[in-house]
Chain A
Amino acid sequence: MGPSFRWGDDMTEKTLLRLITCGSVDDGKSTLLGRLHFETGSAFDDELALCGDDLSRLVDGLEAEREQGITIDVAYRFFATEKRKFIVADAPGHEQYTRNLVTGASTAELALVLVDAAKGVLTQTRRHAYLCRLLGVTQFVLLVNKMDRVGFDRERFERIVADYAGLGTEFTAIPVSALSGDNVATRSPAMPWYEGPTLLEHLEAAVPEERPGGAFVMPVQWVAREGRRGFAGHVVAGEARRGDPMRVMPAGTRATLAEIRLGEEVLDVAVEGQSVMLFFEEEVDCSRGDSVTAAGYPPDVADQFEATLIWMSGEELVAGRQYALKLATQSALASIHTPKYEIDVDTFEQVPAHGLALNGIGVANLWTDRPLVYSEYEHDRDLGGFILIDRVSNETVGAGLIRHALRRSQNLHLQTLTVTREARAAMKNQKPRLLWFTGLSGAGKSTIANLVEKKLHLLGRHTYLLDGDNVRLGLNRDLGFSDADRAENIRRVGETARLMLDAGLIVLAAFISPFRAERRMVRELLGEGEFVEIFVDVPLAEAERRDPKGLYAKARDGRIPNFTGIGSPYEPPVAPEIRIDATATSAEEAAEEIVRWLETPPRDGEGDRA
């Protein structure tokens, strides 16, 4: 393997800057990119010959797009000057715009915002600037293009600059003509009133914002196991030196950095942006998904977050459904709450939302099935940005930016407990389970659950009954009956039951729980075979006839909105462990059947017991 880079060699002494170009369809973006390629000598003669005198043709793309005359996907283009190489994310417009712009902005350090001098700042211009800022781009260049079409008019330029300044970000404004090249690489003789830099001068001098002294973080990608164990990853923040004390997160294990390598080369220091291999003095338990961090400043760890979500799929976001989540090298399952609101990208207003459609942006809470090492997105793109993947289609359906954690556990290093749940359950001589009674109001869930608990008690089983009333009056008294609160109600009940199952108990829970997604969410919180779904099945007409609490009558009068069965649907279980036909079976018979099932549960695949 070769030597390290030769510092001082002009050939390799370039820096790199990543840009994104934003503009509406006719703002002349392709012409500008063609112009930049041409002016920097990044286009070859045979390519130029193919273009005739239309520079925009240097950068056109796929066959289908050429036929339709539009571009539909992010393209990456490169040009270089003597000082700098530029990677340009070229994000085109039209209906896929948000998805493409967000993708391009995610890696950009600087945004070029194009405005047609004749048209001025458009709604689209504001949208682009907003999205770039949301994704963490801090440097903006406002390019007022097509100055040749407005007679190189200074007043026109200044009006557009003042208009754009209203958007509130810092920026540099340059009047250009991509077509004729004015102020792109060379100063425009037609605009002597402009005294600032040309576009290329500005791009060469732009200094990417340094993140203030972040502590070292390297998410582990790969563990090399030939000989000594080496931990490979990309340093996303800070720097570390040989001998530095480190921690492996989320476990919090301490270790001392013995060696840093890049290939065969041994380095004194690993810095942000490098891909290195680390070796420790001690034997350390560390694998892909863990992060090696500075011992004194380990990043936070949490499993519940508030995040901005950007939806990228034609299939809408379904609250409560589990998606695969990828954050740095960590993979988890995430459940997403109903969005708190959606952001209108044209007016920046918050509007109520139930889901998110393609190109929708909203804010929602989510929780993951394991704790994640994270950072708030505004502080660190690598530890704060994640993607969501549909578990069936495997498509990337959304992107997320962590705003903050809802329940931090940064000082809570998960302990391996010596008394296990199995040990506790064995002491009670029972298998911990959650018996989940679901069905319409008035089906008899609580009655049957009470009878089952009595019978189990007589058999010497240690049980606990959770029902709507005892939970709503205490633990969940802060919750109302909106969709979001209903989902949170069920989540808390599920988490409470999980703790009780850990303690070895058999828990009975009687909740209408009308939605499959929520019931599945609780099922997935628990271990295999621990969730027993009991469907107390009664026709709506029968439940309404019984109406023990007079609720159906009130709902019919319109005094209870969203009442399950009347104003809101009930989604019956598809494959419950036990189905009770509550019209043909008495409560006593039902309870006996359930206890019998529990004491001799069926083997897998035997299915419905009704």
Chain B
Amino acid sequence: MTLTHLQRLEAEAIHILREAAAECERPVMLYSAGKDSSVLLHLARKAFAPAKPPFPLLHVDTMWKFRAMYALRDRAAAEAGMELIVHRNPEAEALGINPLDHGSALHTQMWKTDGLKQALDRHGFDAAIGGARRDEERVRAKERVFSFRSAGHRWDPKRQRPELWRLYNARKAKGESFRVFPLSNWTELDVWQYVEAQGIEVSELYFAAPRPTIERDGHLLMADDERLEPGPGEEIRERWVRFRTLGCYPLSGAIESRAANVPELIEEMLGGRQSERQGRLIDRDGTASMERKKREGYF
């Protein structure tokens, strides 16, 4: 019996999840309510069923996610019966850091990068399981499945360990930690095919619907709440849009589309030939910005 590519990817991801649970003292699964998070949570439940996954979920919140994502997050955690830890960087909260006034770089640094480090340190998590994939960004192509972080969460390309066969070396000294990526070998297409095949609930924002939008700097932004106001010469217009990737709503560019389900979305994706990150505003701060962010501890 030959397994399909999705069955092999699923089996590999489940194996990695179990290795993380067995070899790390206090793992946690990062959950952001995006499609990769939805798939990862589904796989975690499959890996340990009929028992619950032996780790909590952690959402590093930025206060600026889409409202639909917060709703999905709470529903998904409750359905899985898993503890959900929500962390917001108190410093960023006190300073009122936001993407509109402070720009995407500082907003992301303080809420996401610093916030994640704070949350891991506060709870003593030694392994953060995330949904990052190697196909997302060229820098990620060399990322390990068990990515070693030295004390202070720094990623040093020279200290990454060779990964042979299915063997992951999860040994570490105190203060050191791992990021674990069970979806390393998946592509965006694999994720969507798996979502379809398994009937996994993903955010409705991935599917086209009439939504209030503002056109700004060549991007279509969704006015998800009253904090995003039209500037001079701008107006809120209803357009049929969907999102390829989800993050903070003022940093997520929508695409005009009528794709209302997964097959239509895949068809559009293969025909449209724009990469996933194209709508992500945070990557445009300079070439190789992702690598710099990673060195500093960005997921």
Contact = CB atoms under 8 A, between A and B. Distances in A.
B49 A63 contact: no
B135 A78 contact: yes
Nearest to B52: A226
B94 interface: no
B48 A224 contact: yes
Contacts, number: 202
B78 interface: no
A394 B51 CA distance: 32
Contact of A222 (B7, B48, B292): B48
B138 A224 contact: no
A284 B86 CA distance: 40
B102 interface: no
Contact of B164 (A85, A222, A273, A385): A385
Interface string B100-129: 000000000000000000000000000000
A394 B164 contact: no
Contact of A74 (B4, B142, B274, B275): B142
B18 A232 contact: yes
Interface in B23-63: 42, 45-52
B101 to A, nearest CB: 29
Interface stretch (B194-202, B214-222, B228-236): B194-202
A59 B8 contact: no
Contacts of B159: 395
Contacts of A312: 162
Interface string B253-289: 0000000000100100010011100100000000010
A586 interface: no
B142 A75 contact: yes
A16 interface: yes
Given A11-B196, A16-B8, A62 B51 contact: no
Interface in A211-234: 221-222, 224-228, 230, 232-234
A324 B21 CA distance: 20
Interface in A392-424: 394-396, 399
A275 B14 contact: yes
A588 interface: no
B22 A61 contact: no
Nearest to A100: B162
Nearest to A71: B142
A77 interface: yes
A389 B134 contact: no
A224 B50 contact: yes
B52 A63 contact: no
B3 A274 contact: yes
B187 A107 contact: no
A389 B169 contact: yes
A66 B266 CA distance: 33
B227 interface: no
Contact of A275 (B6, B18, B141, B288): B18
A79 to B, nearest CB: 9
A29 interface: no
B251 interface: no
B198 A3 contact: yes
B171 A389 contact: yes
A11 B266 contact: yes
B167 A15 contact: no
A80 B161 contact: no
B177 interface: no
Contacts of A327: 167
Given A381-B165, A394-B172, A87 B185 contact: yes
A274 B273 contact: no
B275 A47 contact: yes
Task: Name the residue in A64, A85, A264, A326 with the highest tally of chain B Cβ atoms < 10 Å from its Cβ.
Answer: A85
Nearest to A87: B185
Contacts of A1: 42, 45-46, 49, 198
B8 A103 contact: no
Contact of B141 (A59, A230, A326): A59
A60 B138 contact: yes
A230 to B, nearest CB: 7
Contacts of B5: 12, 14-16, 80, 84-85
A73 B21 contact: no
Interface stretch (A38-46, A114-122, A472-480, A515-523): A38-46
A458 B171 CA distance: 50
Task: Name the residue in B139, B164, B270 with the highest tally of chain A Cβ atoms < 10 Å from its Cβ.
Answer: B164
Contact of B142 (A61, A80, A99, A233): A61
Interface in B1-23: 1-12, 14-15, 18-19, 21-22
B197 A5 contact: yes
B49 A2 contact: no
Given A73-B160, A312-B162, A61 B4 contact: no
B7 A2 contact: no
B235 to A, nearest CB: 28
Nearest to B45: A1
Contacts of A103: 162-164
Contacts of B1: 239, 271
A232 B8 contact: no
Given A3-B198, A274-B11, A14 B4 contact: yes
B71 interface: no
Contacts of B172: 394
B269 to A, nearest CB: 9
B48 A13 contact: no
A262 interface: yes
B46 A44 contact: no
B296 interface: no
A264 B184 CA distance: 24
Nearest to A219: B166
B281 to A, nearest CB: 14
A106 interface: yes
B157 interface: yes
Given A11-B196, A106-B165, A399-B162, A2 B142 contact: no
A417 to B, nearest CB: 30
A381 B166 CA distance: 10
Given A2-B42, A5-B7, A394 B169 contact: yes
Given A76-B141, A394-B171, A12 B193 contact: yes
B14 to A, nearest CB: 4
A387 interface: yes
B4 A273 contact: no
Contacts of A529: none
Nearest to B176: A394
Contact of A273 (B8, B190, B197): B8
A78 B50 contact: no
Contact of B173 (A47, A221, A389, A394): A394
B200 to A, nearest CB: 6
Contacts of A42: 187
A85 B142 CA distance: 19
Given A2-B200, A226-B52, A288-B22, A395 B161 contact: yes
A202 interface: no
A43 to B, nearest CB: 8
A486 interface: no
Contact of B165 (A64, A80, A225, A382): A382
Task: Name the residue in A232, A264, A326 with the highest tally of chain B Cβ atoms < 10 Å from its Cβ.
Answer: A232
Interface of B: 1-12, 14-15, 18-19, 21-22, 42, 45-52, 134-135, 138-139, 141-142, 157, 159-167, 169, 171-173, 184-185, 187, 189-190, 193, 196-200, 263, 266, 270, 273-275, 278, 288, 291-292
A-B interface, 5 closest residue pairs, ranked by CB to CB distance from nearest: A2-B198, A263-B46, A226-B51, A44-B275, A275-B14
Given A16-B4, A16-B9, A273-B8, 11 more contacts: A9-B197, A15-B2, A61-B142, A63-B292, A75-B141, A75-B142, A85-B5, A85-B190, A275-B47, A326-B169, A395-B161
